[in-house]
């Protein structure tokens, strides 16, 4: 049966009370479908440990992954401020300019790394969603 990518996401519980991953749960590393496996475990495909209970470590749900608009905006803003301050520093050295150059350089780097990670996650999620839609379109 094809999965609706927009299904509601709750832990499933078996009769003996153990909690299982909801249908739209995938390994963050290899995108293996982890539905109905224990919510804490290791991916059968690549072996990465995951823990759905504590902050969705190692797993992701494609329909909940959003494009990292804020992270990209923050990275670009901080990067531009860094360049502007750094160019001022070259013209006339000033301790405060140096301090703010360091701060915005650090922020730009941090947001940039985060934006990169989230963008990759987002693109992978889109791939999975497209695959699910293709599967659903195929006549069975």
Among 9, 20, 29, 119, indicate the residue that binds Zn ion (CB under 5 A).
29
Task: Give the x-and-dash track for 71-110 against Zn ion (CB under 5 A).
Answer: ----------------------------------------
Residues 6+ apart with CB under 8 A from 63: 5, 6, 9, 24, 125, 129
Among 30, 49, 69, 123, indicate the residue that binds Zn ion (CB under 5 A).
30
**Nearest-angstrom CA–CA distance, 77 and 36:** 42
Nearer to Zn ion by C-beta: 27 or 132?
A: 27
User: How many residues bind Zn ion, per CB under 5 A?
Assistant: 8
- Least Cβ distance, residue 18 to Zn ion (angstroms): 21
Task: Give the x-and-dash track for 32-71 against Zn ion (CB under 5 A).
Answer: x----------x-xx-x-----------------------
Candidates 51, 60, 50; CA nearest to 9 is 60
For residue 122, how many C-alpha atoms fall within 13 Å in the half-sphere facing its CB? 12
Residues 6+ apart with CB under 8 A from 59: 21, 25, 26, 27, 28, 34, 50, 51, 52
Which chain residues interact with Zn ion by CB under 5 A?
Answer: 27, 29-30, 32, 43, 45-46, 48
């Amino acid at each position: 049966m094809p999965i609706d990518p927009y299904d509601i996401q709750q832990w499933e519980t078996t009769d003996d009370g153990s909690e299982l991953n909801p249908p739209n749960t995938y390994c963050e590393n290899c995108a293996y479908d982890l539905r109905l496996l224990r919510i804490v475990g290791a991916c059968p495909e690549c072996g990465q440990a995951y823990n759905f209970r504590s902050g969705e470590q190692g797993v992701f749900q494609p329909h909940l992954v959003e494009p990292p608009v804020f992270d990209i905006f923050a990275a670009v803003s901080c990067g531009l401020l860094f360049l502007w301050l750094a160019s001022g520093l070259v013209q006339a050295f000033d301790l405060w300019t140096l301090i703010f150059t360091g701060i915005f350089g650090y922020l730009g780097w941090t947001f940039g790394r985060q934006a990169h990670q989230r963008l990759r996650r987002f693109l992978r999620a889109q791939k999975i969603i497209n695959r699910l839609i293709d599967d659903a379109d195929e006549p069975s």
